[in-house]
Amino acid sequence: MESCAGIRRATGVGAAARDGRGLGEVARLLGPRIESVRVATDGTVALLSYKPDTVEKDLGAARDRLAGNFRDSYTSLTRDVVIPGSKQKQISAVATVPAAASVSAIENHAVVLVFVNQTVVIGNGAPTDTASTVRVTLDRIHGRWLISQFDPV
C-alpha cells in the first residue's frame, strides 16, 4: 500500500481526492501524462520504422507527428540520408517500445522517457538489434501533441 500512496502523491491524485476536487480533477492531472506517453510511444515507432519500398511514405507520415526545429532536422536527415540509403541498400528498420514513462507533463508540454528496441536489416543480411533510450519532448499545438525534441540519453 505504501507504493500506491507514493504514486498518488507523485501524481497529485491524492491531493485532488482529499481536497474534494473529484475525478474530473484527477483526469485533468493525469490526462496529459497518459496522452503524451501514448503519443511519444507511437511517434517513436513511426520515426524509426520503415521499409525500402515504402520509406518515403513511412517517414513522411512520421514527419506529420513533429514540430519546430526537430521537424526541420528530421526532414533533412530523412531526405538526404535515410531515404536514399534505404532504397539503395534495401535497408529496413522496425522499432518497438517495450516501456515508456512520463517525466513531466502539464497541459501543453510534456517529457517522456522512451525505451526503444530497433531491428535493422540491410539487404539480405542478418538483422541487427539495438536498444536505446530517448527523451521525447512534446508540445500540444492546436490541440494535438507533437514531438518537438528527440534526444538519445
Structure confidence at residue 30 (pLDDT): 78
Residues ≥6 apart with Cβ < 8 Å to 105: 32, 33, 36, 111
Model pTM score: 0.82
Structure confidence at residue 31 (pLDDT): 84
Structure confidence at residue 16 (pLDDT): 52
Low-confidence ranges of the chain (pLDDT < 70): 1-29
Structure confidence at residue 6 (pLDDT): 41
